[in-house]
Structure 1
Amino acid sequence: MKLAFTTVDPAWESMMEARFGRTYYVLIFDEQSGQITIHDNREIVNQEHGAGPKMAKLMADLGVDVIITGNGPGENARAVLAQMNTVIYVGAGEMSVAEAYKAYQEGALEKF
């Protein structure tokens, strides 16, 4: 299972980013292999329109199964993610990535 975390910095100890499409980084954690990869998303942070759908497409391209974020995606991105059967959890905006992962494992995050 591949989990994507929206983050402020490119590290497991980083604080989560509440925004989905305009997050600075996406940390991808492959639970099966234990591998962590980082995607730098700063190039689309300041775009006026379309950041959410671009991020949703990236999640599809990376084969993400679960997204953990703060507030969740907007309607356009949500529609794309729904077609991919990606599960989204929200409520992690004030946590570190490690805390968000633990909250996910314990079922403490809200399904979007």
Structure 2
Amino acid sequence: MRIALPSTGKDLNSIVDSRFGRALYFVFVDVEGKEIKKFEAYENPAYNAFGGAGIQASQFVANKGANVVISPSIGPNSFGLLIQVGIKIYSCPFGISIKQAVEMFLEGKLNEFKAPFGPGFGRGRGWRGGWGRGPW
């Protein structure tokens, strides 16, 4: 099984990034049974995307062969694409390491996402302007 996690760094002690589509890195952990066999870290090609970072990150994760994604939150576009290609998505607490998240998953302590959780963490979440003043 191959598990993908958004990460702030390139190793198992890095913190799971709360932003899926705009995470700095993705760490892919290969497990057999209840044991971590190996891991690989890649820069997220969608990190600086102008738009559609969640979709691009999801495609990247799928192309790298992930069966499972573990993330504290995931937006609706990422959620839809990952589910469509058969990747299961599990939630984990904020602020834990990649290794802790994988261990919690292997121990059955994480819940599967049944719906997106959290907004898209794009470069703006509003009408324009970005200062929370609405469209005027």
Same fold, TM exceeding 0.5? Answer: yes
- List per-residue Cα deviations over 1:46-89 (Å, max 9, x = no partner): 334200000111111111000011112x1122111111110111
Q: How far, CA to CA, are the matches of 2:51 and 2:77 in structure 1? A: 11
Give the root-mean-square deviation of aligned CA atoms: 1.5
- List per-residue Cα deviations over 1:13-48 (Å, max 9, x = no partner): 11111111111111001114812111111x532334
Q: Specify the alignment match of 1:45 in structure 2.
A: 47
Gap runs ≥5 in structure 2: 114-136
Q: How far, CA to CA, are the matches of 2:111 and 2:95 in structure 1? A: 14
Q: Which has the higher contact order (CA 8 A, sep 6+)?
A: 1
Under a length normalisation based on structure 1, what TM-score does the superposition of the two structures give? Answer: 0.89
How many residues are treated as equivalent by the alignment?
A: 110
Gap runs ≥5 in structure 1: none
Which has the larger Rg? 2
Q: How far, CA to CA, are the matches of 2:93 and 2:25 in structure 1? A: 15
- Are 2:107 and 1:102 equivalent residues in the alignment? no
Under a length normalisation based on structure 2, what TM-score does the superposition of the two structures give? Answer: 0.74
Runs of 4+ that moved beyond 6 A: none
